[in-house]
Structures are given as C-alpha cells and as structure tokens.
C-alpha cells in the first residue's frame, strides 16, 4: 500500500473507533436511564440530579452572558454620554 492508501485506511479505522465509542456511550446511557426509572416511568435518583445540575449550568451560562452584554451596553452608554 502506498502512503495515500495508508492514510485513508487509518482514517477509516479512526472513524470506526469513534462510532464504536459513541454507540457504547449511548448504550450505557440507555442502561442508566432504564435502571433509574421507577415503576411509574418517572426518572429518579442520580440521573434526575444530573439533569438538574446540567440544566442549572446552562441557565448560569446564559445569565452570565446576559450580564456581560448588559455591562458592555452600559460601557457604551457611558462613553457616548
């Protein structure tokens, strides 16, 4: 095999490995969700806490960005006044 073929082959292996990792993580997440569900279908325990934490982080990021934008606007208003 020449160099170009080796590069293509390495890329194919890397993509295959990436897909295997993604599929494995999806399977593990599905197993976690199945284990966390109670009899009535509601999510309980660590999964619920993790979801709340992730949601809080997202909201905190949005709030921080909005604050930064407000401060930037204040600075512009102060310079033009």
pLDDT digit string, tens, across residues 26-44: 888 877 777 666 555 565 5
Q: What is the mean pLDDT of residues 46-63?
A: 67
User: pTM (2 decimals)?
Assistant: 0.44
Report the mean per-residue pLDDT for the chain: 79
Q: 46: Cβ–Cβ under 8 A, 6 or more apart, which residues?
A: 36
Give the pLDDT confidence score for residue 11 in this predicted structure: 96
17 class by beta-carbon count within 10 Å (0-12 exposed, 13-18 middle, 19+ buried): exposed
Spatial distance between the Cα atoms of 24 and 21, rounded to a whole number of angstroms? 5
How much is the pLDDT for 50?
63
> Mean pLDDT over residues 59-76, rounded?
85
């Amino acid at each position: 095999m020449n160099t170009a073929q080796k590069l293509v082959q390495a890329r194919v292996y890397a993509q295959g490995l990436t897909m295997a990792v993604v599929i494995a993580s999806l399977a593990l997440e599905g197993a976690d969700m199945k284990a966390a569900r109670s009899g009535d279908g509601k999510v309980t325990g660590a999964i619920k806490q993790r979801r709340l934490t992730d949601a809080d982080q997202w909201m905190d990021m949005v709030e921080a960005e909005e604050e930064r934008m407000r401060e930037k606007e204040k600075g512009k208003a102060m310079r033009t006044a």
